[in-house]
Amino acid sequence: MFKKLAISTVLMTGIAMSAAPAFAADEYNVSSGMTAAGAQLGLHGVDPVEFIATANPIEGSAAYTVVHDGVAYYFSNEANQKTFEAEPAAYLPQNGGFCTYGVSVGKKFDGDPEYHAVIDDTLYVFLNREIFDAFNQDRAGTISKAATNWKDIRSTPVEDL
């Protein structure tokens, strides 16, 4: 009896642990591999609270990690970690951290924090300089199209787009 219970527990734990990263890979732009927290890294390890506050990509530290919705986020200090824990939605990058311009055309491209915009306390990231420059030609239109498309492609795996 104890042996069956132990095997069942191990199997259920394995299933639960494998489900979160798969979910994260579909709806969030994450780095490959796992963090020490057992989840894939979001926003390339950049501190999202500092990013919104200063519009600068400041690298976070694994010492200050929060796992939210199956994704690990790093913070540069404990205060930012606690700020995020209190209201994560206020600091998450739009479109799951995928390139906002890409989402506006129905694709999920990597969102590189080097190419970003913080507009009305909302973080948008982009694939590269060329895409960021295209975004700057029509910021409002791109954001609007991305918001509409995100509803349709949010749970679609990258390889299916």
Each residue of 70-126: pLDDT tens digit? 999 999 999 999 999 999 999 999 999 999 999 999 999 999 999 999 999 999 999
d(CA 9, CA 24): 23
Statement: residue 67 has pLDDT above 70: yes
Each residue of 132-145: pLDDT tens digit? 999 999 999 999 99
Q: Which residues pair with 1 in a beta bridge?
A: none
Model confidence band, residue 129 (pLDDT cutoffs 50, 70, 90):
very high
HSE value, Cβ hemisphere, 13 Å, CA-based, for 27: 15
The token pair at 94 is 């739009």
Give the predicted TM-score (pTM) of the model: 0.83
Statement: residue 17 has pLDDT above 60: no
Model confidence band, residue 24 (pLDDT cutoffs 50, 70, 90):
low
Statement: residue 59 has pLDDT above 70: yes
Element at 62 (helix H, strand E) = strand 61-68
d(CA 132, CA 136): 6
Q: Mean of the pLDDT values across residues 25-52? A: 93
pLDDT at 121 (0 to 100): 94
Q: Following DSSP, what letter does each residue of 25-52 receive, concatenated?
A: HHHS-B-SS--TTSSEEBGGGB-HHHHH
- What is the pLDDT of the chain when averaged over all its residues? 88
Model confidence band, residue 5 (pLDDT cutoffs 50, 70, 90):
very low
Instruction: Supply the DSSP symbol for 92.
Output: S
